[in-house]
Copies of this chain bind each other. A is one copy, B any other.
Amino acid sequence: MAGYQLTSFEHVLLGLVCLSPSSGYDLKRMFAATPMGVYQPSSGALYPALRRLEARGLVRATGLDAAGESARHRRVYEPTQAGQTAHMTWLRTPVEPSTVSRDLGLHLMRFVMMEHAFSREAVLGFLDDLKDALAAFTSGLERYAATQLDESHPRLALEHGLAVHRASLQWVDHTIATLRAAPEHRDKSPKVCG
């Protein structure tokens, strides 16, 4: 049933299907429309990935779309119980400090998907972990930069890394403050549960 662990792409697809049942084409349009979707999955990546999720029993294809209308030759996927569990487990994956820079886009995706699946406290906990990891990475860069005192291009490129990670850190701080000020989300996991 469970081949092995899912790829990041599969986790994202599973998460999107958990947010709202979708066909492959729906997902394709979603990636195309959102500016987040700098990444444009090809048919050869998307459809086989959905089939793999189906083969592992994490999603199931129905003949109906989200509005309940029959869609004969559309495969509308919805999560199974196992799929929702796997999704929640993925959302709860701790932030790995050593790879936080590489995985930042993934963490942002997870943050988006936490909105209707986590309590505000859980989201704030995640953001705290993310902040710590980013702070550690950034101070590592700063320590390294301190050994490179010249004005060479490598040094300047290093400054770019510092600048964007500091911006990420500020975003985390700002977002934590925003969420603390906001009221608890009212509709608690209508579709996604664990």
User: Interface of A with B (CB < 8 Å)?
Assistant: 34-36, 38-39, 99, 101-102, 108-109, 111-115, 140-141, 144, 151-154, 156-161, 163-164, 166-168, 170-171, 174-175, 178, 182
Q: Are B161 and A164 in contact (CB under 8 A)?
A: no
Q: Are B171 and A159 in contact (CB under 8 A)?
A: yes
- Shortest 7 CB-CB distances between A and B: which pairs? A167-B167, A115-B153, A163-B167, A112-B153, A160-B171, A163-B171, A164-B164
Which of chain B's residues have a CB closer than 8 A to the CB of A102?
Answer: 38-39
CA distance A161 to B36 in the complex (A): 8
Min distance, Cβ A143 to any Cβ of chain B, angstroms: 9
Q: Are B160 and A164 in contact (CB under 8 A)?
A: no
CA distance A161 to B175 in the complex (A): 13
CA distance A34 to B102 in the complex (A): 15
Integer count of this chain's copies in the complex:
2
Which of chain B's residues have a CB closer than 8 A to the CB of A140?
Answer: 35
By beta carbon, the residue of chain B nearest A166 is: B167
By beta carbon, the residue of chain B nearest A140 is: B35
Which of chain B's residues have a CB closer than 8 A to the CB of A160?
Answer: 108, 168, 171, 175
Secondary structure of the A side of the interface? helix
Min distance, Cβ A118 to any Cβ of chain B, angstroms: 10
Min distance, Cβ A23 to any Cβ of chain B, angstroms: 21
Q: Which residue in B38, B99, B112, B156 is a CB contact (below 8 Å) of A101?
A: B38
Which of chain B's residues have a CB closer than 8 A to the CB of A34?
Answer: 154
Q: Are B164 and A151 in contact (CB under 8 A)?
A: no
11 new A-B contacts at CB < 8 Å, known A156-B175, A163-B168: A35-B141, A35-B158, A36-B154, A38-B102, A109-B157, A111-B156, A113-B153, A115-B154, A151-B182, A159-B175, A164-B171
By beta carbon, the residue of chain B nearest A181 is: B151
Min distance, Cβ A58 to any Cβ of chain B, angstroms: 23
CA distance A113 to B35 in the complex (A): 30
